[in-house]
Amino acid sequence: MNVAGLRADAARERAVLAALASPAFLILGGLLFIPAGWLFWLSFYDETGLSLANYRRMVTEPAYLSVFGVTLELSLLVTVLAVCLGYPLAYMIAKLPGRAATICLTLVLVPFWTALLVRTYAWLVLLQRRGILNTLLMKWGLIDQLLALVHNFTGTAIGMLHIMIPFLVLPVYANMRALDHDYMRAAASLGASPASAFWRVYLPLTFPGLAAGTVMVFVICLGFYVTPQFLGGGRVTTVSMKIQQNVTTYVDWGAASALGVVLFVMTAGIFWLASRVLSLRSLTGMQPP
Amino acid sequence: MRQTLRLCLAATGIFGWAATASAQQVITFASFGGAYQAAQRKALLDPIQQKLNIVIKEDTLTGLADVRAQVRANAVKWDVADLGGASCARGTVEGLFEPLDYGVIKTDGINPKMVNKDWIGVIYYSTVIAWNTEKFGENGPQTWADVWDVKKFPGTRSFSRGASETMEIALMADGVAPDKLYPLDVDRAMKSLAKIKPNVVAWWASGAQSAQLLKDGEADIVAIWNGRAGAAIKDGAKAATTYNQGILNADCLVIPKGAKNGELAQKVIALMVSPELQADIPKYINYGPINEKAFATGKITPEEAARINSSPTNTARQTVISFDYWTDNLAKLTEKMDAFLQQ
């Protein structure tokens, strides 16, 4: 075939791909970008017209600073804990033979398929003052005062962690499964201790999965609403809760939109930072080709 | 041929006209759905349909934002809407409602605070003290000052995380007389709340949550809506309530600006607040009639009246919330409350 024919083929393929992708583009454009852009626009309006009042409120009212602080703190804590718990779990499952791995993976996924409210209320039953955990600990004499495990920051973090673990385990597990274990054997045969082989070979090789999982967990955490609403006892207000509160408290959409804009900018910034760090890793040779 | 066609057209025209003439007028009523709207259907809407020979269609709403959206878009679907009292006061300021015709709507027996130029109360609910009877027996806290007294009544508390009502409660606990609450002394309220904060197990976000806290024994004393407390007790909660120092709050009726059947809506509202129909409300739900004359219709026995939050005896023990105050201050105090809860 000549060059012109190849080029025509390529053009045809591009056209077909564009046509196939267009419904998704239309949905995203029509249902996401346009309304989001409209809300962005509204955030610069209040009852009196064009104004920065919605943004000024975030600086002058002390509640907003702590809302952002709590949201970040909670997201960071849950992400760190998810890594600490999720990475070894993924490793264990990846090491198991096929059938056992499938069963374990299903166990990780079952809560993932359960309704959010059901899981949230289940934690309430377990953790509350007269809940199952406190009752058992008292019975066994391990504590002499009921622990405040829920209706606070602790309970919110526990509930969120439970929801987020599959988001970390799945990409890390996929990464580990795809890994060629000859690398580890090679490290050992070249004299690396197990710890050294892990830190210098295994961890760098599984880093892409870990990074993807970590960023996903953190970003999803930033938008939590239901869990802190039900397990926070009113002491934990996340940005999403504040957005909802502003929709009902203020007459117009602007107050809530402004919060949405700030949350979006924050999330985008974190993504950008993460991508910077990740490419740095690949520059230093820590990421596999 | 053309003649026949014309005849046919004329005939269908006549039939069509006849059909609309015999059909009943239809109006649409919107409320909060659930058990509440089901009770409104039985106590109010069904009898009104019969009396006026009309059809009342139903829709549900979530609050003032829905009415505002319809009015601003000039696409009003509802003729009568049920809203929370503070929303009505807010909507009045924004000019979202048609004026009510008090030539048609009779207000005898209704507290003047619940009668406004473009809204009128429809039911009362109360925020009351509820306590765990396993812990305190039948003699639980009788005033908000008792609720604040953690020596006399040791145990956990729960209040609404919203500013309205919780601030009134804090002031009464600090010794402000129920009839001297407004305008609220916000600093005093915050100081009072700070005192009880260490004993608060959770600041509830919804009526369902407050009932759950009471039923599970998580909170030994809860500031709770009487309807929710009643349902929890019926459901097996070991709890009791008192109307002492309760706060009466109301839902209200409005005609959204530009409603298509405004005139008929006035008649429907007139019947909805009439003593005869009002007297049936407590049969179906734990809310009290807005019209005190309902208690004189003979439909409510003295035993029932003792339980209903808006009976004359119980009303005397409570105080009525100020919608006007909350219209002006809700945003400011919500931020304040939120900052306080996060500290």
DSSP string, A194-239: HHHHIIIIIHHHHHHHHHHHHHHHHHHHHT--HHHHHHSTTS---H
Find the Cα–Cα–Cα–Cα dihedral B180, B182, B188, B193, rounded to 10°.
Answer: 100
- Total number of residues shown for chain A: 289
DSSP run (H or E) holding A275: helix A254-283
**CB of A124 within 8 A of CB of A230?**
yes
Q: Please check whether residue B268 is in contact with residue B56, taking contact to mean a CB–CB distance below 8 angstroms.
A: yes
Q: Which positions in chain A touch B205 (Cβ < 8 Å)?
A: 229-230, 234
Write out residues in chain B with pLDDT < 50, as ranges.
1, 5, 9, 11-21
Question: CA of B218 to nearest chain A CA: how many angstroms apart?
Answer: 6
CB proximity under 8 Å: B 206-225 to A? 209, 212, 216-218
Say if residues B317 and B244 touch (Cβ distance below 8 Å): yes
C-alpha of A196 from chain center:
30
DSSP state of A33: I
**Partner A contacted by B331 (CB < 8 A):** yes
- What is the pLDDT, as a whole number, of residue B17? 47
Q: Nearest CA to B226 among B238, B210, B213?
A: B210
Radius of gyration of chain B (CA): 23
Are B98 and B255 in contact by the 8 Å Cβ rule? The answer is yes
Q: What is the pLDDT of residue A229?
A: 94
At B48 the pLDDT is 97
Domains, chain A, ordered by start: 57-283 (1.10.3720.10)
Residues of B in contact with A151 (CB under 8 A): 201-202, 218
Q: Are B293 and B235 in contact (CB under 8 A)?
A: no
Selection from A178, A167, A4, A5 nearest residue A89 by Cα: A167
Query: Could you tell me whether strands B157-160 and A49-50 are parallel, antiparallel, or unpaired per DSSP bridges?
Result: unpaired
What pLDDT sits at residue A222? 95
Tell whether B201 lies on the interface with A, counting CB pairs under 8 A: yes
Q: Say which DSSP state B68 is in.
A: H
- Residue B193: exposure state from Cβ atoms within 10 A (0-12, 13-18, ≥19): buried
* Chain B residues inside the 8 Å CB shell of A248: 63, 65
Best mutation target among B213, B341, B343 (most A Cβ atoms within 10 Å) is B341
Residue of B nearest to A127 (CA): B218
> Which chain B residues are closer than 8 Å to A237 by Cβ?
338, 341-342
- B:272-311 residues touching chain A, CB 8 A cutoff: none
Spatial distance between the Cα atoms of B164 and B160, rounded to a whole number of angstroms: 9
Give the C-alpha separation, A182 to A204, whole Å: 15
Helix (H) or strand (E) segment spanning residue B166: helix B166-173
Which one of A70, A234, A251 has the shortest CB-CB distance to B161? A234
Scanning every residue of chain A, which has its alpha carbon at the shortest distance from the alpha carbon of B218? A129
pLDDT of residue A221: 96
CATH code 3.40.190.10 region(s) in chain B: 23-124+250-319, 125-249+323-342
ipTM for this model = 0.84
Q: What are phi and psi of A178, to 5 degrees?
A: -80, -10
Which of A66, A129, A248 shows the shortest C-beta gap to B339?
Answer: A66
pLDDT of residue A35: 87
Contacts B201 to A, Cβ<8 Å: 129, 148, 151, 233
pLDDT for B189-240, tens place per residue?
999 999 999 999 999 999 989 999 999 999 999 999 999 999 999 999 999 9
Say whether residue B334 is in contact with chain A using an 8 A CB cutoff.
yes
Q: Alpha-carbon distance B172 to B181, whole Å? A: 8
Q: Do B26 and B268 form a contact (C-beta atoms < 8 A)?
A: no
Q: What is the spatial distance between Cα B300 and Cα B294, in angstroms, rounded to a whole number?
A: 8
pTM for this one? 0.86
In angstroms, the CA A205 to CA A198 distance is 9
Fold exhibited by the domain B125-249+323-342 = D-Maltodextrin-Binding Protein; domain 2 (3.40.190)
- Kind of pairing, strands A45-46 and B25-31? unpaired
CATH superfamily of this structure's domain B23-124+250-319: Periplasmic binding protein-like II (3.40.190.10)
Taking 70 as the pLDDT cut, the residues of chain A under it are 1, 279-289
* Burial classification of residue B59, based on how many CB atoms lie within 10 Å of its CB (0-12 exposed, 13-18 middle, 19 or more buried): middle
For residue B155, what is the nearest residue in chain A, using CA coordinates? A129
Asked if A245 is an interface residue toward chain B (Cβ–Cβ < 8 A), one would say yes
**Is B65 within 8 Å of A130 when comparing Cβ atoms?**
no
B341 to A237: CB separation less than 8 angstroms, yes or no: yes
C-alpha–C-alpha distance, residues B96 and B93, integer Å: 8
Residue in A61, A230, A236 nearest the CB of B335: A61
